[in-house]
Amino acid sequence: MEFAERAAKGNGHIIQLHYPFHLPGKTNAQELMFMAGLEQVRRWEGELNPGQDEKARQEMIAERKKAAGILRTLLDQVNGELGAEAATQKLKEAGQKGAGFAKFPAQIDARLKQSPDFRELLQTLLQFGELRFATLGRQQASVEQALNCFATLGAAAIDHGDEYATDMLVRLANYAVTILTALTEKRPESIRPFARQSVQWPLLAEVDPEWPVRAQHLLCKTLELGEDTFHGRLEKSKAYNLEIVARRYARGMVETLETNRNCVKLFALTVKVIRARQQKGDIKLLLKAVPPWVKAATNLGPFSRETANDWLEVGIEMLKQECPNLPKSADWSRITRHWENRGDKPTPGRMWNSIKDALRSPVRTIARQTNKVTQISKPKLGNPIPGTNKV
């Protein structure tokens, strides 16, 4: 009753910590509640830690300046504008990062005396490092300006229907995607690592009826979209066929399990934020307990044809808890008819066993026969084009 009273005043919240079963092509109230709750927790985290993002940004800028100062100090020494002792002192003044480099001026001085040709190599390396930090700084400043720009235009367009803001959003989006397309055509090897780790990619639609064919070739062949994600483990010609009921449920089952395998790391942090918010304000929170199948999902190996039966075992338990009325749904009416035609009563046990048997082959079928998912290093950020100050 206390919770109901507070909820009526906007001070009561139900937070669902696990991602519910999601059938491809459909949404449900549980899923929306999960997404809304996650967004609410993010807002609370920002309220509980005011200025945290700005503090982190300032610390990052300060670290970048120190790193650039270290490079400049060493370059001045190599160029003969600073003695070894003076360079060492300046490095010690550049915080912990600079102190770690304080031993190098003496070593550089000794090496230069032994091999004068070494000077040109050091000059090139230090100039390139300094250029990289300067370029990265300009990029980060540009990103902040762009994000502020889109936030301002988005609020004006969505909240107030501002025509100018809407026009500018369309123009800027087209411009950004055009640049991305040009980058894809000129340097596909540099953009591919990002695409392989993504499940969505921006493209410009065209009036030409054949443009979806070209776009599909670009995404699948050139960019290899999603190959280093969970979707890279699926046989797309079968997993994305939503007309076959069993395959649709099989895909929804494995995707839901995979999502919870990834989300489980957020549970502890989310609970910590929720409890802190509840202590601070006059609000009441109810947490929906994380069911046992979520923990079981974290023990599963990567999805494949070899592990499909393990995923099915956990998936059936998930369906029983998330969709207790599933055997009575229209999607599985054929199983009811099967038992009735045999003259047997379609009891819950028989129905669930039949559903499990019906899903056994599809769960294995939607897994890619040859797994193309590879473990690759994350894309490197902030690399300037050699010999220029441009990115």
Q: Is residue 318 part of a domain?
A: yes
Cα–Cα distance for residue pair 376/367, rounded to 1 Å:
21
Which among 1, 5, 6 has a CA at the least distance from the CA of 283?
6
- Maximum Cα interatomic distance, the chain, rounded to a whole number of Å: 98
pLDDT lower than 50: segments of the chain:
375, 377, 382-391
Cβ atoms of residues 111 and 362 within 8 Å = no
- Residue 249 domain flag: yes
Query: Within a domain: residue 93?
Result: yes
Q: What is the pLDDT of residue 283?
A: 82
Q: Is residue 130 part of a domain?
A: yes
Compute the mean pLDDT over every residue in the chain, rounded to the nearest whole number.
87
How many Cα atoms sit within 13 Å of 374 on the Cβ side? 8
Count how many domains the chain has.
Answer: 2
3-state secondary structure labels for all residues of the chain: CHHHHHHHCCCEEEEECCCCCCCCCCCCHHHHHHHHHHHHHHHHHHHHCCCHHHHHHHHHHHHHHHHHHHHHHHHHHHCCCCCHHHHHHHHHCCHHHHHCCCCHHHHHHHHHHHCCCHHHHHHHHHHHHHHHHHHHHHHHHHHHHHHHHHHHHHHHHHHHCCHHHHHHHHHHHHHHHHHHHHHHHHCHHHHHHHHHCCCCCCCCCCCCCCHHHHHHHHHHHHCCCCCCCHHHHECHHHHCCCCCHHHHHHHHHHHHHHHHHHHHHHHHHHHHHHHHHHHHCCCEEEEECCCHHHHHHHCCCCCCCCCHHHHHHHHHHHHHHHCCCHHHCHHHHHHHHHHHHCCCCCCHHHHHHHHHHHHHHHHHHCECCCCCCCCCCCCCCCCCCCCCCCC
Is residue 118 in a domain?
yes
* 8 Å CB contact between 355 and 326: yes
Residue 387: the pLDDT is 40
Choosing from 116, 139, 162, the residue where a domain stops is 139
Q: Are the C-beta atoms of 367 and 234 separated by less than 8 Å?
A: yes
Predicted local confidence at residue 229, as pLDDT: 92
| Euclidean distance between CA atoms 107 and 24, whole angstroms | 62
Q: What is the pLDDT of residue 6?
A: 79
pTM > 0.75? no
Which pLDDT belongs to residue 276? Answer: 86
Q: Output the pLDDT for position 378.
A: 54
Position of tokens 């502020």?
148
Instruction: Judge whether 304 lies within some domain.
Output: yes
Domain boundary among 105, 139, 173: 139
The confidence score (pLDDT) of residue 391 equals: 37
Task: Note the pLDDT tens digit of each residue in 339-383.
Answer: 888 888 888 899 999 999 999 999 999 999 865 555 454 555 544
Domain annotation covers residue 131: yes
Alpha carbon distance 207, 253 (integer Å): 37
Mark which of 104, 139, 174 sits at the end of a domain.
Answer: 139
Q: Report if residue 69 sits inside a domain.
A: yes
Terminal CA-CA length for the chain: 60
pLDDT for the residue numbered 53: 73
Pair of tokens at residue 245: 């009921």
Q: Domain containing 79: what range?
A: 55-139
**Contact yes or no for 304/233 (Cβ under 8 A):** yes
